[in-house]
Amino acid sequence: MPISPRLLPFLALIIALGTGCATPTPSTHITLAFDRTGSFASIGVPGFNGAQLAIEQDAADGTPTVAATLIDTASTPSIARAVGGNARDTRTSAIGGLGDNDQFLALARTLGGTGIPLVSAGATDPRIPETINTPVFFACFTDNVQAAAMVQYGMQKFGPRCILIFDATSDYTLGLATYTQDALVARGGALVVQLAYSDIVGFNKAVQDAASRVNEADFVMLAALPDRCGFRIRALRDAGVALPILGGDSFDTPEILSADAPMSDVFYASHAWLGQGCTPRAQAFVDAYTKRFGVTPTSFAGLGYDATCLLIDANARRNGATLAQAIGQTTHFEGVTGTISYANGPLPLKQVWIIGVDDGRASLADAFTPTVGAHNR
């Protein structure tokens, strides 16, 4: 069955991988879905590009091992669901991609009972595999891990007292806020106040409430969506909140480094360090990505690349197993964003890279796997 007409406006690229009679078309067909447009584009575009680079490299020698369809899910749940519905009706072997929990869940819930494996490039909710009746694997660290890492870093660097501000409208921000509270309790920290918001009025009140409590706190933990992080940070600074502001991987967007409003004393969790002194594998990826797309990659580009390379690698070593079984047997897969292993289940315990921003410039502040408070709920 052909691609659903509902997806045609959003179909960004089909790589048939196998042109001419001399090169057979691969029997393994995968779908790679990313939010290339819409509110999640700041993380979806680099993820899409990273996935495309991996597919192009797989085909570079003329003997591609998979056929891939790359789709823009446009930050729209109905389109994400349509991708899953189309996968049910075609010979799709696996789906990879998406960097947002809500979008990933919208797609995943359409696949119950199909056995089609999904590899998350950036959806970080550790509860997802327990709620979806199809094999789910993560190429990224999870929200409990990044929250624990940021609390550990904040308490060791600045002190034990935290102001927590979070968006109450998103599964991602709600989860990150919950895991931040868990990690503070586990490490003996102090939650000065938690401030939830759901609209601009609520956010403005949260900012003023935070400003009134700054003398009681050592740092702020802000759980915000990627398209609004820069705005939220600037509003806190404008209100006189000079405390260090910590955040999750949603901060890993170009807006945080905007030259129009340089930010300082901001720290966030990242899936990879791709700057000066990064690992040789990461540097090779940076060089290839920059040459191909003309911009430097973010960690979400690395996740899109790793999720796709993981699918390609698993397909190459199937040896009669299903693709889901081959993915589940992955151990010590060396990716751009770190080592991926599913020996202990679908959630790899990966290192968290802490990025510091000073005057709009990013640098590596720390890197570690959190020691306390990273338990799965």
pLDDT tens digit sequence for 84-112: 999 988 879 999 999 999 999 999 999 98
- How buried is residue 345: exposed, middle or buried, by Cβ count under 10 Å (0-12/13-18/19+)? middle
For residue 358, give the 3-state DSSP assignment. strand
Same domain, 244 and 169: yes
Same domain, 103 and 217: no
Alpha helices in 112-225 (DSSP H): 128-131, 143-157, 171-187, 200-211
Token pair belonging to 6: 């509902």
Domain membership of residue 375 (yes or no) is no
Note the pTM of the prediction, 2 decimals.
0.89
Same domain, 261 and 283: no
Domain membership of residue 81 (yes or no) is yes
- pLDDT reported for residue 263: 87
Domain membership of residue 376 (yes or no) is no
Same domain, 159 and 251: yes
- Average pLDDT score over the chain: 90
**Distance of alpha carbon 173 from alpha carbon 60, whole angstroms:** 40
Q: What residues in the chain have per-residue pLDDT under 70?
A: 1-25, 259-261, 373-377
- pLDDT, tens only, 13-47: 555 444 334 445 677 999 999 999 999 999 999 99
Same domain, 288 and 334: yes
Buried b (16+ CB within 10 A) or exposed e, 148-173: bbbbbbbbebbebbbbbbbbeebbbb
CATH number at residue 64: 3.40.50.2300
Same domain, 224 and 357: yes
Same domain, 128 and 152: no
- pLDDT, tens only, 53-89: 999 999 998 889 999 999 999 999 999 999 999 998 8
Domain membership of residue 373 (yes or no) is no
Question: What are the beta bridge partners of residue 342?
Answer: none
Domain membership of residue 162 (yes or no) is yes
Identify whether the C-beta of residue 95 lies closer than 8 Å to the C-beta of residue 120: no
Same domain, 252 and 307: no
- pLDDT reported for residue 267: 97
- pLDDT reported for residue 255: 77
Domain membership of residue 374 (yes or no) is no
Same domain, 263 and 161: yes
For residue 179, give the 3-state DSSP assignment. helix
- The count of structural domains within the chain is 2
Same domain, 234 and 302: no
Domain membership of residue 37 (yes or no) is yes
Same domain, 70 and 153: no
Same domain, 325 and 253: no
Domain membership of residue 169 (yes or no) is yes
Residue range of the domain that includes 83: 5-141+278-346
